[in-house]
């Protein structure tokens, strides 16, 4: 719809739609928190033939994350794209593409159907690539094509898995599949294909090759959206498949394999981030590392599940991983927006160019510092809660070998965050000419950074929402009472 | 027709082979255009598998659900392919580059 509007009207309309969508996400989360899980069958057709929408605690947490980040990024983007420097290329198309992307993300968090999920990840992928190449600069175009090819390969592998599952159980609805699934080689192949396809899209080491270039060559609001939300979407899908659908058939070895990939990603991504000279590349590599943390969730919950659903570390691992997704979403969005302000003001994204910015752009430097604190995992930030819970789960479950990875990753993160901050605090004699930056851009970056910290204080609400129809309770009930 | 093997099984095996071949092509070929063609073959492999599933349930008629999914999948694949081609052409025009390794 937004395509039809004249360019001048697009930003206000887009902003209004953004506000309404975010409000709807919060309202839905409230309803789920109060009334429990919601299932809506489109057109009144029941599963297995109909296509259902489904909202539980997990989907609501991600919906609200998308709503909050989306709204703030929209405010930022409105100022950003009205700047004269950012008018090249097809930036007029930002609003329609972003709203399509947002719609597809929401659709994905609410879908209860394997094929519908395929359609939404494909729409997310296409819209994300289109946003990446928006500036029309050659590096962005090349990065976009690389991203697009990786995304197509990933979603085709996922679709192949869907085909095999349909061949085995003749159903696509998540719950129906979960109930009628029984181990077997074709299901294992299907599961492997789906997870592998989604790993490409989530950019887990060593399949992250497309991420740094794509995320760093996009424009600032787009980078924030890609890093904070788009990679979370496929992470959500892996999580959903892992705990809801293939609950009974995942093995400890598969969990350990994902954990090993995650651990490698933590070390490699953080180390690469430390070595980058360009700010945006540094932040993009840091995304690779932080995604790795989320994947440490899988070995922990898998082992817990094999050893009985009441294993004490289960809830720590589960909430720790999801908390990491939330904290990283907020912090990384804040970081990309703050770096966007730096680049705009200084005119370069060299790491050394941020010298003495603390006095000139205090708000943005503060935002960057807050986001950095959450990424490192210093208390009392959201990142601290996430990493603390993961650490606790590694020790209580006896899988101590993940603990050093978490700690070393934190040190490396501290390394690159402080390198930027040291530069920003370093006084300089040479006068620097800074371009003026719209106030709204600084404020939104700061708000996101503050949210990444504050989420650490409001853990109870998030935990309560996550508890609504948590997948493990479901599994226990299904075993006891014969299904939902 | 080989004795004991149904047509739909041949389809399914072909789909598997095509899938592996196109993944190899996607990673090993350097040229953008070859990579895009590889993704198209990848899509075809998946759709072929879906179609072969229509026969599996030993019904009088083919199962319509996979066909519906293939139609949707084709629409998505066509637009993704068109987008990839447009990007590759734009890159070639702006930089003269046709593989990821070239330095512009």
* Complex ipTM value: 0.90
Assign A245 to helix, strand or coil: helix
> Which DSSP letter does residue A278 get?
B
Give residue for tokens 């809506």. A40
Taking the CA of residue B22 and the nearest CA in chain A, the distance in Å comes to: 10
- Put simply, the answer to whether A166 touches B53 (Cβ < 8 Å) is yes
The token pair at A372 is 């950095």
Please compute the mean of the pLDDT values over residues A105-132 and round it to a whole number.
90
Residue A482 lies in a domain: no
The token pair at A415 is 């390394």
Biggest CA pair distance of chain B = 58
Same structural domain, A282 and A335 = yes
- Put simply, the answer to whether B19 touches A115 (Cβ < 8 Å) is no
Same structural domain, A222 and A316 = no
Radius of gyration of chain B (CA): 18
CB A327 within 8 A of CB A385: yes
Which range, A33-42, A389-398, A455-464, is most confident?
A389-398
Q: Between A152, A163, A167, which is nearest B39 by CB? A: A152
Last residue of a domain, one of A220, A250, A280: A250
Biggest CA pair distance of chain A = 74
- Put simply, the answer to whether A146 touches B100 (Cβ < 8 Å) is yes
Give chain A's contact residues with B (Cβ, < 8 Å). 115, 118-119, 122, 125-126, 129-130, 133, 136, 138, 141-142, 144-146, 148-149, 152-153, 156, 159-160, 162-164, 166-167, 170, 172
Contacts of A149 in chain B (CB under 8 A): 26, 35-36, 39, 84
Residue A66 lies in a domain: yes
Residue A484 lies in a domain: no
The token pair at B21 is 């071949």
Q: Between A119, A125, A166, which is nearest B66 by CB? A: A166
Taking the CA of residue B45 and the nearest CA in chain A, the distance in Å comes to: 8
CB A241 within 8 A of CB A258: no
Same structural domain, A182 and A258 = no
Q: Which candidate, A351, A132, A103, A134, places its Cα nearest to that of A224?
A: A132
Same structural domain, A188 and A265 = no
CB A343 within 8 A of CB A279: yes
Q: Which residues pair with A173 in a beta bridge?
A: A113
Same structural domain, A298 and A233 = no
**B86 or A171, which is more confident?**
B86
CA pair distance A208, A334, nearest whole angstrom:
22
Q: Is B92 on the interface with A (CB under 8 A)?
A: no
Residue A224 has a pLDDT of 93
Phi then psi for residue A55, to 5 deg, are -130, 120
CATH 1.10.287.3510 is the classification of domain B7-95: yes
Residue in chain A closest to B63 (alpha carbons) equals A170
Residue A212 lies in a domain: yes
Same structural domain, A240 and A268 = no
Burial of residue A359, with CB atoms counted within 10 A of its CB: 0-12 exposed, 13-18 middle, 19 or more buried: exposed
CA pair distance A20, A24, nearest whole angstrom:
6
- Put simply, the answer to whether B42 touches A148 (Cβ < 8 Å) is no
Last residue of a domain, one of A250, A282, A310: A250
Q: Is B76 on the interface with A (CB under 8 A)?
A: yes
CA pair distance A327, A338, nearest whole angstrom:
16
DSSP string covering A365-427? HHHHHHHHHHHHT-TTSHHHHHHHHHHHHHHHTT-GGGHHHHHHHHHHHHHHHHHHHHHHH--
Give residue for tokens 């085995």. A168
Structural domain tally of chain A? 2
Q: Model confidence at A304, in pLDDT bands (50, 70, 90)?
A: low
Say whether pLDDT at A51 is over 50: yes
Q: Model confidence at A479, in pLDDT bands (50, 70, 90)?
A: very low
Residue A428 lies in a domain: yes
CA pair distance A437, A460, nearest whole angstrom:
37
Assign B101 to helix, strand or coil: coil
Q: Which long-range contacts (CB under 8 A, 24 or more apart) does A256-259 make?
A: A256/A299, A256/A302, A258/A195, A258/A204, A258/A295, A258/A298, A258/A299, A259/A295, A259/A296, A259/A298, A259/A299, A259/A300, A259/A402
Same structural domain, A12 and A62 = yes
CA pair distance B49, B54, nearest whole angstrom:
9
CA pair distance A13, A2, nearest whole angstrom:
8
Residue A84 has a pLDDT of 75
Mutate to test the interface with A, among B87, B96, B104 (most CBs of A within 10 A): B87
In angstroms, the Cα distances linking A410 to A132, A273, A406 are: 29, 12, 6
Taking the CA of residue A147 and the nearest CA in chain B, the distance in Å comes to: 10
- Put simply, the answer to whether A148 touches B84 (Cβ < 8 Å) is yes
Q: Model confidence at A126, in pLDDT bands (50, 70, 90)?
A: very high
Query: Mind listing the pLDDT tens digit for each residue in B1-55?
Result: 456 677 778 888 898 899 999 999 888 888 899 999 999 999 999 999 988 887 7
Last residue of a domain, one of A207, A224, A250: A250
Query: Mind listing the pLDDT tens digit for each residue in A152-181?
Result: 999 999 999 999 888 888 778 887 787 777
- The pLDDT mean for chain A works out to 82
Q: Between A149, A162, A164, which is nearest B84 by CB? A: A149
- Put simply, the answer to whether B53 touches A159 (Cβ < 8 Å) is no
Please compute the mean of the pLDDT values over residues A204-224 and round it to a whole number.
88
Taking the CA of residue B5 and the nearest CA in chain A, the distance in Å comes to: 18
Residue A223 CB partners (closer than 8 Å, separation 6+): A215, A216, A280, A283, A284, A336, A340
Q: Model confidence at A149, in pLDDT bands (50, 70, 90)?
A: very high
Same structural domain, A230 and A106 = yes
CA pair distance A391, A403, nearest whole angstrom:
6
Same structural domain, A59 and A34 = yes
Domain boundaries, chain B: 7-95
Same structural domain, A257 and A213 = no
Residue in chain A closest to B56 (alpha carbons) equals A167
CB A182 within 8 A of CB A225: no
Burial of residue B63, with CB atoms counted within 10 A of its CB: 0-12 exposed, 13-18 middle, 19 or more buried: middle
Domain that holds residue A458: 253-471
Q: Is B91 on the interface with A (CB under 8 A)?
A: yes
- CA geometry: angle at A91 spanning A88 and A94, to 5°? 170
Say whether pLDDT at A3 is over 50: no
Query: Mind listing the pLDDT tens digit for each residue in A277-290?
Result: 889 999 999 999 99
Residue A306 has a pLDDT of 55
Same structural domain, A222 and A264 = no
Say whether pLDDT at A242 is over 90: no
Say whether pLDDT at A483 is over 80: no
CA pair distance A146, B32, nearest whole angstrom:
9
Same structural domain, A298 and A399 = yes
- Put simply, the answer to whether A166 touches B87 (Cβ < 8 Å) is no
- Put simply, the answer to whether A119 touches B19 (Cβ < 8 Å) is no
Q: Model confidence at A30, in pLDDT bands (50, 70, 90)?
A: confident
CA pair distance A394, A388, nearest whole angstrom:
10
- Put simply, the answer to whether A163 touches B100 (Cβ < 8 Å) is no
Residue A445 lies in a domain: yes
Mutate to test the interface with A, among B46, B77, B85 (most CBs of A within 10 A): B46
Mutate to test the interface with B, among A47, A93, A149 (most CBs of B within 10 A): A149
Dihedral angle sign, alpha carbons of residues A303, A309, A315, A316: negative
């Amino acid at each position: 719809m937004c395509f039809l509007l004249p360019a001048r009207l697009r930003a206000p309309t887009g902003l209004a739609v953004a506000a309404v969508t975010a409000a709807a996400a919060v309202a839905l989360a409230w309803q789920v928190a109060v009334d429990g899980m919601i299932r809506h069958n489109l057109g009144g057709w029941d599963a297995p033939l109909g296509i259902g929408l489904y909202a539980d605690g997990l989907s609501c947490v991600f919906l609200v994350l998308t709503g909050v980040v989306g709204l703030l990024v929209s405010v930022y983007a409105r100022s950003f794209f009205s700047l004269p420097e950012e008018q090249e290329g097809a930036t007029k198309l930002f609003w329609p593409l972003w709203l399509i992307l947002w719609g597809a993300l929401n659709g994905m968090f609410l879908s209860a159907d394997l094929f519908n999920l395929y359609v939404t990840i494909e729409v997310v992928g296409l819209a994300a690539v289109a946003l990446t190449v928006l500036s029309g600069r050659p590096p962005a175009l090349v990065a976009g094509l690389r991203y697009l090819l990786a995304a197509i390969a990933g979603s085709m592998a996922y679709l192949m898995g869907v085909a095999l599952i349909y061949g085995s159980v003749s159903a696509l609805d998540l719950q129906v599949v979960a109930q009628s699934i029984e181990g077997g080689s074709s299901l294992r192949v299907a599961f492997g294909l789906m997870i592998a396809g989604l790993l490409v899209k989530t950019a887990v080491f060593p399949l992250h090759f497309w991420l740094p270039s794509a995320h760093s060559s996009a424009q600032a609001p787009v980078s924030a959206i890609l890093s904070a939300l788009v990679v979370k979407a496929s992470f959500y899908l892996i999580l959903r498949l892992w705990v809801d659908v293939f609950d009974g058939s995942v093995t400890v070895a598969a969990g350990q394999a994902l954990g090993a990939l995650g651990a490698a990603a933590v070390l490699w991504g953080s180390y690469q981030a430390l070595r980058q000279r360009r700010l945006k590349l540094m932040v993009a590599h840091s995304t690779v590392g932080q995604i790795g943390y989320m994947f440490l969730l899988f070995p922990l919950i898998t082992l817990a599940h094999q050893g009985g659903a009441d294993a004490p570390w289960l809830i720590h691992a589960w909430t720790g991983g999801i908390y990491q997704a939330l904290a990283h979403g907020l912090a990384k969005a804040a970081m990309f927006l703050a770096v966007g302000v730096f680049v705009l003001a200084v005119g370069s994204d060299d790491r050394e160019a941020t010298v003495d910015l603390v006095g000139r752009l205090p708000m943005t430097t503060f935002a960057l510092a807050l986001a950095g604190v959450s990424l490192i995992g210093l208390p009392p930030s959201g990142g601290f809660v996430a990493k603390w819970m993961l650490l606790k789960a590694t020790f209580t479950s006896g899988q101590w070998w993940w603990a050093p990875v978490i700690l070393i990753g934190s040190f490396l993160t501290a390394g690159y965050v402080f390198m930027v901050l040291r530069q920003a605090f370093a006084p300089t004699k040479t006068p620097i000419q800074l371009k003026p930056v719209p106030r709204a851009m600084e404020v939104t970056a700061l708000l996101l950074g503050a949210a990444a910290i504050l989420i650490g204080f409001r853990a109870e609400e998030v935990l309560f929402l996550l508890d609504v129809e948590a997948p493990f309770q479901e599994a226990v009930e299904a075993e006891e009472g014969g299904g939902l | 027709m080989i004795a004991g093997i149904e047509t739909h099984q041949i389809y399914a095996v072909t789909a598997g082979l095509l899938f592996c071949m196109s993944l190899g092509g996607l990673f090993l070929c350097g040229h953008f255009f070859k990579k895009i063609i590889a993704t198209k073959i990848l899509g075809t492999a998946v759709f072929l598998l879906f179609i072969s599933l229509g026969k599996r349930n030993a019904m009088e008629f083919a199962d319509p659900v996979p066909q519906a999914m293939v139609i949707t999948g084709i629409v998505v694949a066509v637009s993704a392919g068109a987008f990839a081609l447009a990007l590759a052409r734009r890159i070639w025009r702006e930089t003269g580059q046709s593989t990821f390794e070239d330095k512009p």
